[in-house]
Chain A
Amino acid sequence: MTELIDQLSHFAQTIVQGKEPKTQITNCYANYSQNTAIEVYRNNYRGNLHDALAGAYPVIKLLVGDDFFRMLALKFIEHNPSRSANLHHYGAELPDFVASFEPAQALAYLSDTATLEWACHCAYFANDAPLFNLAQLAQFAPDQHPYLVFDLHPATRIVRSLYPISAIWLAHHPDAEVDFQIDLNSGSCIALVCRRFNKVEVINLSEPEAYWLHQILTETPLGGSTMTTLEHYPDFNLQTTLVKLVEMNVITGVKLGA
């Protein structure tokens, strides 16, 4: 195996890190040079990763334009090799990269929008989960309710931002039907990413709802979650929050906690 490892890793470095190819690769082709062949592989490598990023970040691409996106993607690819054979996993680090990417500094909302978009991308491919309705709570006696722990859909993500990123996403995602003006100074938002009827959706959460859902995400039982939330937000309404999250297919099951 040692020989095979050596040969493949050198070839890999030739493609990814731009190393000079070793003469061990034969060079007796009638129609082109070895450099041409290596360039084909380098192009494939960059092209496949660029396309993966473009597939995962259509809103960012639309916001900055194809040429800027290409430049951004190629710089990102230089510093971030792929770690998965599944191209849908590529690009998780792009939001952080965008935040420190000098040419994008004027677009302060871009990094958070990218975080939201990555959450949507993951939600699209997340595993399926059972459907839930509130009537299922009836199987538990009222005195058990404080000890209930909710299962959340694997697509569920919360993204906070100082910018109205939900509105930006809603106006620019590939299936967006309306184009509307967004006031970038309209303030912060808490975006909830969820998936129902196999469609990824983004809605806004209020501070109390987000606070409560954070507790639930860490499997804190219903009683404790609700109590802590009410201590911070006396206006918190458990009933409407539950209805909203069940309707959005965020809650997918319930069990009695340990």
Chain B
Amino acid sequence: MPASKYTFPCVAGIGLRAPHYREVLETLPELGWVEVHSENFFGGGAPLHTLRKVREHYPVSLHGVGMGLASATPLDEKHLSDLSQLCNDIQPVAVSEHLCWNAATGFVINDLLPFPYTREALDHVTRRVTQVQEKLKRQLLVENLSSYISFSQSEMTEGDFLAELTQRSGCGILFDVENLYVNVRNLGVDAEAFIKTIPADAVKEYHLAGFSERDGCLVDTHNHPVYNEVWDLYEHVLKHLGPRPTLIEWDTDIPALPELLNEAAKAQLIIEQCHD
């Protein structure tokens, strides 16, 4: 069943990156949807022109890496307005950001950084998610983070934080299964508790990716096929929370398009088994 370009189809998609733009547009592979990093298309010119062409053929999801929802500095109005302009242009099927921070007074750290899950932080992030949703006039999906440290000041788990955040702000959840797996291995996070805490209705999308290891720490590098343990966890998550649009992310050492599509096909198979 071909999905409308304006609804988020419950099938597998791929993260579309620059090395594959041309091949995807020339061969138009059978593909449920694609996701791109929002910031790469701010402004105009060739990037935006390319994305408009992609949009003619596929549903597009915009995935931001720069909003810094938990930063303690004021929300970057220019960044938000660039995103808003891109949304109006592309009409994405979903818009997502990460549950993280990236800015301190005077400088920005262009990464996805963890913070203590406190009630104070929850109030703060709720206000900012609301601000973003009001500007974009749509629901924002917020993604759980892969983390290499945890803060002793945290008053709740990331799962509790996300569940409360969705209830207060009306945002959705982008459940990154690989991030959860990384946190289980790195920080001893309880995967079962996380899955039980997350409200199924709020989950609108899944992410899958590969990680790497550095001195015993799993690092969310998106440079590898999805590992078997993550596939297993994904199947388990789907049994509890139900199938959703699922993305294969690959950002470093990006493989040939067929390999990426093959990973998406594996996810598609699991989605279909879950529907049966």
Question: Are B108 and A84 in contact (CB-based, < 8 A)?
Answer: yes
Does B214 belong to the interface (CB within 8 Å)?
A: yes
B152 partner residues in chain A, CB cutoff 8 A: 24-26
Q: Size band of the B side of the interface?
A: 35 or more
Question: Are B104 and A8 in contact (CB-based, < 8 A)?
Answer: yes
- Given A7-B115, A25-B149, A26-B150, answer yes or no on A86-B42 (Cβ-Cβ < 8 Å): yes
Report the minimal beta-carbon distance from B41 to chain A, rounded to whole angstroms. 9
- Given A4-B115, A81-B106, A124-B45, answer yes or no on A32-B216 (Cβ-Cβ < 8 Å): yes
A87 partner residues in chain B, CB cutoff 8 A: 39, 66, 110
B219 partner residues in chain A, CB cutoff 8 A: 40
Report the minimal beta-carbon distance from B116 to chain A, rounded to whole angstroms. 6
Report the minimal beta-carbon distance from B104 to chain A, rounded to whole angstroms. 4
Which of the candidate stretches B3-11, B181-189, B241-249, B260-268 sits at the interface with the other chain?
Answer: B181-189
Report the minimal beta-carbon distance from A50 to chain B, rounded to whole angstroms. 11
Does B231 belong to the interface (CB within 8 Å)?
A: no
Report the minimal beta-carbon distance from B195 to chain A, rounded to whole angstroms. 21
- Given A7-B151, A40-B219, answer yes or no on A195-B186 (Cβ-Cβ < 8 Å): no
- Given A1-B124, A124-B45, answer yes or no on A85-B149 (Cβ-Cβ < 8 Å): no
In angstroms, Cα B216 to Cα A170, docked, is 46
Of B49, B68, B72, B151, most A-chain CB atoms within 10 Å: B72
Contacts from B to A (Cβ < 8 Å): 39-40, 42-49, 66-68, 70-72, 76, 79, 82, 101-111, 113, 115-116, 118, 120-121, 124, 148-153, 185-188, 214-217, 219
Q: Given contacts A7-B116, A85-B102, could you give 17 more A-B pairs where the C-beta distance is less than 8 Å?
A: A1-B120, A3-B153, A4-B116, A13-B104, A25-B151, A26-B149, A30-B188, A34-B149, A36-B214, A36-B215, A45-B110, A82-B109, A84-B108, A87-B39, A128-B44, A128-B45, A128-B48
Contacts from A to B (Cβ < 8 Å): 1, 3-5, 7-9, 11-13, 15-16, 24-26, 28-32, 34, 36-41, 43-45, 48-49, 52, 81-88, 90, 123-129, 155, 195, 198-199
